[in-house]
Structures are given as structure tokens and as C-alpha cells.
Amino acid sequence: MAELSTRHLLGIKDLNLKDIELIFETADEFKSVLNRPIKKVPSLRDVTIANIFFENSTRTRLSFELAEKRLSADVVNFAASSSSVSKGETLIDTVNNILAMKVDMVVMRHPYAGAGIFLSKHVKAQIVNAGDGAHEHPTQALLDAFSIREKYGDVAGKKVAIVGDILHSRVALSNILCLKQLGAEVMVCGPTTLIPKYIGALGVKVEHDLLKALNWCDVANMLRIQLERQDIKYFPSLREYSMLYGLNKQILDSLDKEITIMHPGPINRGVEITSDVADSKQSIILDQVENGVAIRMAVLYLLAGQTQ
Amino acid sequence: MQNLTLLDGQKFQITIQRLCRQLIENHDDFSNSVLIGTQPRGIYLAKRVAEELRKILPGKTILQGDLDITFYRDDFRRRESQLVPNQTRIDFIIEDKKVILIDDVLWTGRTIRAAMDGMLYFGRPQKMELLVFVDRRYSRQLPIEADYVGIEVDSIASQKVVVSWKETDGEDKIVLLSEAK
């Protein structure tokens, strides 16, 4: 008889260790549902969910939509590019109009940090943050930690290196918060310009040498360079970045242990990671995608089932 | 709370044995039949029945699985507290098999309705039967009856029937709990 301590999922910051464990236990059962011939349960049949995406997405939107459909929820999709937002409507008005059509939950991605938190204070529906600017991406962090737990049995005590554009990455922040809660050691690695100045305050190690970071870690989470969020040049060229921070087979084979490779997608093959590494058996990138559906089913199920 | 013990000790064991004999009457050597216990409390009875059948039918394979019905319930978002799912473990095919659904207490019939729903997600059984330890008569909210019944009890809604198991609770017994006046 456990419940999440929060009514919305706005960020990992709002979750305690019990919440994360409850989500994982529920996701375990949904993962087994997803491996049955009929991959569907009727739990959310009287729930309507709106997926509101103010920013592009393939994986996250599809993953949420599949999770919703496999829980038998009714789903409406909304992409800002083809909507009245371009006619000047405000966020609250847009969402309240959608809610007037009897929608119970909103899954939202927005380019501005804190958009989900803002919305949760002004509308009645439950909000799930599917990424807000460079702030948080809680379901991604949950599925990453869930994948590490699946691979190693436990997250506590594992060493995880997050490599790349930490400054602009919501995945990095949510991952750090989630992994630290679960008792993992976390290191961030990247060029000085792409590491936030006070990141050490979150209790993470900082490293600028990729080889040292890889030698230290059990799991390397390779992040994409977020060119769309970079208003100035943070490094001379992608080629130089790739030479210093790109993970290739040669580096991987030079390590004296076998580490696990993760990537939240979309991959820029040949920049942060080469094709042979992304497709190698050390990579659990596609397991992450599979687990994403189970994690999102768990989150939606637990939120929707809360006492009204 | 006042407690009235309905069944314990040797009688408890004899009742399980009787249920097993009744099953064998209809299912012969269980080559085309499987046992499914419903989570969380029905699985203990299912395990006991499977153990007992293995003793009576040495050398025969008795397939037994656990079904969690949390996702198929009709009171999601209507309950006061949320239910956490339990493990479903059915590592055999139920298509065209005779399925014996097992639960400890049959009361309103809603759990069994959910279990039948959940079962169908695993395939189309040839036949589905219901075995319960305790039948709380005259309290059904759905048209569901059991094929095999351990004991029948007449009770009122405010009472509770609790089946305890040696494995988890230290003792085999069935108790009827009533609110003290």
C-alpha cells in the first residue's frame, strides 16, 4: 500500500529513495507485461493523457505514448510547432484549454527550465516532466538507473561517469540526483567549458581526461553535444571534441576491464561515440530504450492511482 | 476484535487433501491441467495443493503459477490506498489447457473477475475452474461461483476471514474476525 510522495513528476529532486524503489519495483512487473504475447493491461482505461511537446522528440514521445497505450489510457498528442502557440497563446491558456476537454494528466516537454513546475502551480492536472530545458529529465534518469540495476543487480556502490556536455544536459542533472540517491558514485567528464562551475556541490567528481574517467568507472554514460542549446562556441570544432572526448573501440579495448556503455540518444555517431562502440555488446543503449517504456508505465500508473 | 477459529490443525490439512482428490476426479493425471494461484494470498494455497498432488500422483508434472491481478482490478483510482503489484510467474503455456484458478477466500467475486481477465492476456484456456478455501456465501457482487470449496462460511460485511499459513504466519488456520461490540 505504498504511494509516491509527490502528485507530479517534475524532477528527481522531488523524489525520495522510497519513491525511486517503488517505481523500480512497479517497473519490474511492467517489464514482464511487455514481454508477454499481449503487452497490455487495462489499468488506466478511464484516464486521458495529453502529450504536449514544445520541443522535438522521437524516443521520449514514442516511449510515453506506448506506455500510455499499454496501460489502456486515452492519448492525445500535441506538438507546439503545429498549434496555436505560434499564434501567441500562453502556456497556461494552452494547457487549460486542453484540460477543458477532460484530460487527467499532462506529459510535457518544454525548452524552458521550470516550465513543468510553473504549470503544476496553475493547472489542476497531474504533470509529468518529459524534459524542461537544461533542467531535469526525470524519466530518463530513472530508466538509466533501472538499466544499471538490471545489469549489475544494484546501483549502490557502482561508479558511473557521465561524459560530454554536462552544462546543457538535463539528463546529466537528473542522472546525478538519481544515482546519488541510490548510492552510486558519480563523475562528470568533459571540457572545462562544458562543466558547470559549482557542479562539485552535488557531490560528484570532476575529470577532464576521458581515459582517466573510463579507467575509474563501471558505467560510462555518453551524452550528446547539445548544439541547439549552445549560443556561443564552447570548443573549437566537433572534430577536436571528438578526438578528445569521443569514445572509440581503441580506447575501450585499451582499458583493463569491461565497462558498460550507455547513451540517452539521439546518438551523433562519430562524435561522442563511434558506431562500433555504440553497437558493441558492452553497449546497453537499446536496453535503455526498452526499459524506458516500463519505467514510464510505472510512473504513470503510480501517479494516476493516487488518492484523488 | 473477536476471533472465531473456523478451521485449524489436522482438519485444515484434511480439507486440502479432499480438495486435491476432487481435482483428480476431474483432471486425471494433470497432463492437460495447470494450477494458477492469485497474488498475494492465493499462491500459498496453490503451492500446498500442488505439493499435495505431487504426493498423490508421484512422477507426474504438476504445473503451478502465480498471477498478480493488480493491473486488472476494477477499483483502480477508486480505492483509498494504492496497491503495489506483486510478481506474476507463469512460465508455461495456458493456451488450450484446463486452468484451475486458486484463491484463499471468495467473497464479492471481484478478485476472481479480475483474475479471469488477467488470465486471458496469457492465452485462451480450454476451460477455467475456480478452487477456493473459504466461500463467504451470500455476499457476491458478481455472478461467480467456485467449483471446489474448502469450507463455506456465512458472514456479514464488517467481518473478515483470514487464512494463515505455516510458511508465512507460523500456523495453519482460518479465522473469522468480528468487530467487538
Question: Which grid coordinates belong to A251?
Answer: 580506447
Predicted pLDDT at B93: 84
Question: Which grid coordinates belong to A217?
Answer: 568507472
Between A25, A33, A308, which is nearest B84 by CB?
A25
Distance CA A172, CA B51 (A): 51
Asked whether the beta carbons of A86 and A80 are under 8 A apart, the reply is: yes
B2: pLDDT confidence band, cut at 50, 70 and 90? confident
Residue A1 predicted with pLDDT over 70: no
Chain A positions in Cβ-Cβ contact with residue B85 (cut-off 8 Å): 25-26, 29
Distance CA A96, CA B61 (A): 59
Residue to mutate among B68, B76, B119, with most A CBs inside 10 A, is B76
Give the N- to C-terminal CA distance of chain A in Å, as an integer.
15
Residue A58 predicted with pLDDT over 90: no
Between A29, A41, A305, which is nearest B72 by CB?
A41
CATH class assigned to B10-72+86-157: alpha beta
**Among candidates B36, B26, B34, B48, which has minimal Cα distance to B163?**
B48
Chain A positions in Cβ-Cβ contact with residue B77 (cut-off 8 Å): 46-47, 304-305, 308
Distance CA A84, CA A180 (A): 41
Half-sphere exposure of residue B134: CA atoms within 13 angstroms, side-chain side = 25
Strand arrangement, sheet containing B33-38: B63-67, B33-38, B98-106, B127-137, B148-154
Contact across the interface for B84 and A22, Cβ inside 8 Å: yes
Between B83, B117, B121, which is nearest A1 by CB?
B83
Residue to mutate among A6, A22, A29, A299, with most B CBs inside 10 A, is A29
Distance CA B21, CA B33 (A): 14
Contact across the interface for A2 and B86, Cβ inside 8 Å: no
A308: pLDDT confidence band, cut at 50, 70 and 90? low
Per-domain boundaries in chain B: 10-72+86-157
Q: Are strands B127-137 and B148-154 parallel, antiparallel or unpaired?
A: parallel
Extended strands (E) in B16-147? 33-38, 63-67, 98-106, 127-137
Contact across the interface for B81 and A3, Cβ inside 8 Å: yes
Instruction: For B77, name the nearest residue in chain A, comparing CA atoms only.
Output: A305
List Cβ neighbours of A200 (8 Å cut-off, separation of 6 or more).
Answer: A206
Q: How far is C-alpha A160 from the geometric centre of its chain's CA atoms?
A: 15
Predicted pLDDT at A84: 66
Express each pLDDT in B120-173 by its tens digit.
888 889 999 999 999 999 999 999 999 999 999 999 989 999 999 999 999 999
Contact across the interface for A29 and B82, Cβ inside 8 Å: no
Chain A positions in Cβ-Cβ contact with residue B74 (cut-off 8 Å): none
Contact across the interface for B80 and A44, Cβ inside 8 Å: no
Contact across the interface for B85 and A32, Cβ inside 8 Å: no
- How many other C-beta atoms lie within 10 A of the C-beta of residue B47? 17
Express each pLDDT in A193-205 by its tens digit.
999 999 999 999 9
Query: Chain A closest CA to B127's CA: distance in Å?
Result: 20
Residue to mutate among B71, B73, B75, with most A CBs inside 10 A, is B71
Instruction: For B85, name the nearest residue in chain A, comparing CA atoms only.
Output: A26
**Among candidates B54, B5, B66, B3, which has minimal Cα distance to B30?**
B54
Pick the CATH number of A138-285 from 3.40.50.2300, 3.40.50.10540, 3.90.1150.10, 3.40.50.1370: 3.40.50.1370
Contact across the interface for B77 and A36, Cβ inside 8 Å: no
User: According to the CATH classification, is domain A12-136+289-304 in 3.40.50.1370?
Assistant: yes
Between A28, A33, A306, which is nearest B82 by CB?
A306
B73: pLDDT confidence band, cut at 50, 70 and 90? confident
Per-domain boundaries in chain A: 12-136+289-304, 138-285
Judge if ipTM > 0.90: no
Q: Are strands B148-154 and B160-164 parallel, antiparallel or unpaired?
A: unpaired
Distance CA A81, CA A53 (A): 9
* Same fold: A12-136+289-304 with A138-285: yes
Any bridge partners for residue B178, and if so which?
A: B2
Cβ-based burial of B21 (10 A; exposed 0-12, middle 13-18, buried ≥19): exposed
Give the residue-averaged pLDDT of A169-179: 96
Half-sphere exposure of residue B180: CA atoms within 13 angstroms, side-chain side = 3
Distance CA A249, CA A230 (A): 28
